[in-house]
Amino acid sequence: MNRRHLISTTALLVMSGSVWAQAYPNRVVKLQVPFAPGGTTDIVARVIAEPLGKALGQSVVVENKAGGGGVVGANETAKSAPDGYSLGVATVSTTAANPAINPKIPYNPITDFTPIINIAATPNVIAVHPSFPAHDYKGFVAELKKNPGRYSYSSSGTGGIGHLQTELWKSLAGVFITHIPYRGAGPALNDTVAGQVPIIFDNMPSAMPFIQTGKLIPIVVAAPQRLPQLPNVPTFKEVGLEPVNRMAYYGIYGPKNLPKEVIEKVSAGVKKALQDPAVAKRIQDTGSLVVGNSPEEFAAQIKAEYEVYKKVVDQQKLKLD
């Protein structure tokens, strides 16, 4: 190969790389939700998908892939091609709680993904069916202590944040209730609202509509302070259980080795979407807080949360059901 040919080839490669970067995305982008429709992860994903698509200039299509407390969908995202067309919604369940309790998780939550941006921080809530004998925290705990093993609670799945936070709360509160795992918050909510399971530990966005209509009664929330939407409901910190007072996160990530151009475009697109007052209001109306941090900050957040739940699992000797 002569020098002129080498220079031409190098120039072509540089130009093609530049064109690729400018062209992304040139087709539909998939945003995978690792839970069934109807839960908080699904709600946040659908709120951000349309404005993100407008910012990127291509449609962003939400796909649900439930199973294994979020593991099935998260693993598919981890194993997808690192081209920016298969992204996923990162949750505490899939990147921290489930990996902390399940030694058979097929991915490493720290090394097998490229964190891009945290969209929102979401309070969690323990709520009960209206038929439950107590509708305040003190009475709730008293009823459970009076009848150990009589009641059960639903969650979005074994190893999810609802499961681990409830187990942590149980150990600190000195109560026993049986865990009933589902394939997502949507199905768990449906059975709790129907009265088939009396208690649920869920995220505020998916639980709030049922709380607002009186189909669920909020007992205690995991949030920095009382929520404006639920001014009479105490936080876990207020009832003396600050270790349980942890919010969930809902962000976007992709498989490891995502190109820098993809990270920057998706991050910028989400930030632009979050600057829209209408989009921000839809998120805030669910009880969530808008975040929109950097890829580096989100990566550090995921690592820190994983370490917290790993410590919880080890200290409480929690194991899969």
Whole-angstrom distance, CA of residue 256 vs CA of residue 249:
20
CB atoms within 10 A of CB 315: 11
* Amino acid found at 20: W
Residue 62: what pLDDT? Answer: 98
pLDDT exceeds cutoff 50 at 17: no
Task: Look at 32 and 167; give whichever has higher pLDDT.
Answer: 32
Average pLDDT (285-311) is: 92
Nearest CA to 151 among 171, 135, 132?
Answer: 132
Q: Whole-number mean pLDDT of the chain?
A: 90
Whole-angstrom distance, CA of residue 98 vs CA of residue 157:
9
Overall pTM surpassing 0.85 (yes/no): no
Residue 18: what pLDDT? Answer: 44
Which of 157-161, 202-206, 241-245 has the least mean pLDDT?
Answer: 157-161
Q: What percent of the chain has pLDDT over 90?
A: 72
41-67: pLDDT as tens digits: 899 999 999 999 999 999 999 999 998
Identify the structural domains of the chain with CATH numbers, from first to last. Answer: 24-120+248-316 (3.40.190.150), 124-244 (3.40.190.10)
